């Protein structure tokens, strides 16, 4: 009687590389990235420090920030691959190496559509974040009203939405909206804060966008867009 062949568990994305490539991602080790102009989709395989031998598949939606640097993207929305969803509830997000194939099948079944639903382009992500701010909820709760999340994702909208919208509105050509969100985001930081990044970065963004100018900003702004 022949023994059934067993597949050795993999701990990076090499086994699924072609499927990622077919979906427009570049793959390196435990990271897969797809860039769609000003939006970036990222998938990472995280090894647990306190969940020995387990892995978590992290999904990130990032936005380009030209006021920080030409190639700089920051995480705006994120989630984890769970058995039947992409959410922020980590207790169901850990998979053993033997379960990774199942986890990746879940990702390709509902994770890829998750990226496309929330951030296929600048306009779509802007709509979701604007809805969340208007309803004072996280994007997850706007999408799933009956969802009860713990921590900051369950307590109003996340402040980083203002940061993201200050850039998304800028990319859309809505300078007034970009300035309003930039000022709201920058207003969360003390002018005397010792942080090396904020509020200095946002003050520079507000100045370069010409938010206090009647004309709505200098002509060279297109170089940033």
50-104 pLDDT, tens digit each: 667 799 999 999 999 999 999 999 999 999 999 888 876 666 789 998 899 999 9
Whether the pLDDT of residue 225 is over 90: the answer is no
Do 193 and 146 belong to one domain? Answer: yes
Do 134 and 185 belong to one domain? Answer: yes
Do 107 and 132 belong to one domain? Answer: no
4-13, 24-33, 148-157 — which is least confidently predicted? 4-13
Do 50 and 69 belong to one domain? Answer: yes
Whether the pLDDT of residue 7 is over 60: the answer is no
Cα–Cα distance, 113 to 82 (Å, whole number): 14
Do 183 and 130 belong to one domain? Answer: yes
Q: What is the pLDDT of residues 127-147, one digit of tens each?
A: 999 999 999 999 988 988 877
- The per-residue pLDDT for 59 is 97
Q: What is the pLDDT of residues 154-173, one digit of tens each?
A: 568 999 999 999 999 999 99
Instruction: For residue 51, tell me if it sits in a domain.
Output: yes
What does residue 77 show for φ and ψ, rounded to 5 degrees? -130, 150
What is the count of structural domains for the chain?
Answer: 2
Do 131 and 223 belong to one domain? Answer: yes
- The per-residue pLDDT for 91 is 65
Instruction: For residue 4, tell me if it sits in a domain.
Output: no
Contact 41, 25 (CB under 8 A): yes
Using pLDDT thresholds of 50, 70 and 90, give the confidence band for residue 6: very low
User: Cα dihedral sign for 197, 203, 206, 208?
Assistant: negative
- The per-residue pLDDT for 222 is 44
Distances (CA, A) of 36 to 64, 164, 209: 10, 16, 23
Do 111 and 134 belong to one domain? Answer: no
Do 146 and 98 belong to one domain? Answer: no
**Which of 56, 89, 120 marks a domain boundary?**
120
User: Cα dihedral sign for 71, 76, 81, 85?
Assistant: negative
User: What is the percentage of the chain residues whose pLDDT exceeds 90?
Assistant: 65
Mean pLDDT of the chain: 86
Q: Which residues constitute the domain of residue 203?
A: 121-225
- ω into residue 199 within 30 of 0, thus cis? yes
Do 149 and 220 belong to one domain? Answer: yes
Instruction: For residue 23, tell me if it sits in a domain.
Output: yes
Contact 67, 208 (CB under 8 A): yes
Do 113 and 27 belong to one domain? Answer: yes
Do 115 and 127 belong to one domain? Answer: no
Instruction: For residue 93, tell me if it sits in a domain.
Output: yes
Do 162 and 136 belong to one domain? Answer: yes
Whether the pLDDT of residue 221 is over 50: the answer is no
């Amino acid at each position: 009687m022949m023994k059934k062949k067993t597949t050795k568990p993999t701990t990076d994305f090499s086994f699924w590389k072609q499927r990622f490539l077919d979906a427009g991602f570049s793959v390196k080790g435990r990271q897969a990235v797809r860039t769609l102009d000003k939006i970036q989709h990222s998938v990472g395989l995280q090894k647990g420090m306190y969940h020995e031998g387990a892995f978590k598949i992290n999904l990130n939606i990032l936005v380009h920030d030209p006021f920080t640097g030409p190639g700089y993207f920051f995480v705006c929305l994120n989630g984890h691959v769970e058995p039947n969803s992409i959410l922020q509830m980590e207790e169901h997000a850990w998979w053993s190496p033997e379960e990774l194939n199942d986890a990746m099948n879940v990702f390709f079944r509902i994770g890829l559509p998750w990226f496309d639903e929330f951030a296929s382009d600048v306009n779509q992500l802007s709509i979701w974040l604007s809805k969340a701010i208007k309803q004072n909820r996280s994007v997850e709760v706007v999408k799933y009203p009956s969802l009860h999340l713990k921590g900051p994702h369950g307590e109003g909208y996340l402040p980083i939405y203002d940061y993201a919208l200050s850039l998304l509105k800028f990319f859309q050509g809505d300078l007034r909206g970009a300035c309003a969100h930039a000022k709201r985001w920058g207003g969360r930081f003390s002018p005397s804060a010792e942080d090396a990044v904020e509020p200095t970065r946002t003050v520079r963004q507000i100045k370069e966008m010409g938010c206090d100018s009647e004309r709505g900003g200098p002509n060279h702004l297109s170089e940033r867009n």
